[in-house]
Amino acid sequence: MTTDAPSPVVVDTRPPATPLLQVKNLTRHFMVSGTRIDVLHDCTFDVSRGEVVAIMGQSGSGKSTLLNVLGLLDRPSSGSYVFDGMETAPLREGRMSRLRGDGIGFVFQQFHLLERRSALANVSVPMVLGGVPALRRRSRSRELLESVGLGHRLHSQPHQLSGGEQQRVALARALSREPSLILADEPTGALDAASSTMIMDQLIDQSRVRDAAVVVVTHDAKVAERADRVVVLVEGRTH
Q: Give the tens place of pLDDT for each residue, 1-19.
A: 555 656 566 555 545 568 9
Q: Angle at which helices 163-174 and 119-129 pack, to 10 degrees?
A: 20
Give DSSP secondary structure letters for 147-198: HTT-GGGTT--GGGS-HHHHHHHHHHHHTTT--SEEEEESTTTTS-HHHHHH
Task: Please state the pTM of the whole predicted model.
Answer: 0.89
With bands split at pLDDT 50, 70 and 90, how would you rate the model's confidence at 156?
very high
Residue type at 51?
E
* pLDDT tens-digit map of 103-128: 999 998 889 999 999 999 999 999 99
Phi and psi based region of residue 73 (left: phi greater than 0; alpha: psi -120 to 50; beta: remaining):
alpha
Percent of all residues in the chain with a pLDDT value above 70, rounded to a whole number: 93
Percent of all residues in the chain with a pLDDT value above 90, rounded to a whole number: 80
Average pLDDT over residues 205-221: 92
DSSP conformational letter for 145: H
Residue 8 resides in a domain: no
- The pLDDT score that the predictor gives to residue 189 is 87
Which CATH number covers residue 125? 3.40.50.300
Residue 203 resides in a domain: yes
- The pLDDT score that the predictor gives to residue 210 is 87
* pLDDT tens-digit map of 64-109: 999 999 999 999 999 999 999 999 989 999 999 999 999 999 998 8
Residue 14 resides in a domain: no
DSSP conformational letter for 27: E
Residue 5 resides in a domain: no
Torsion of CA 107, 109, 113, 115, to 10 degrees: 170
Distance CA 66, CA 183 (A): 11
Residue 121 resides in a domain: yes
- The pLDDT score that the predictor gives to residue 2 is 56
DSSP conformational letter for 239: -
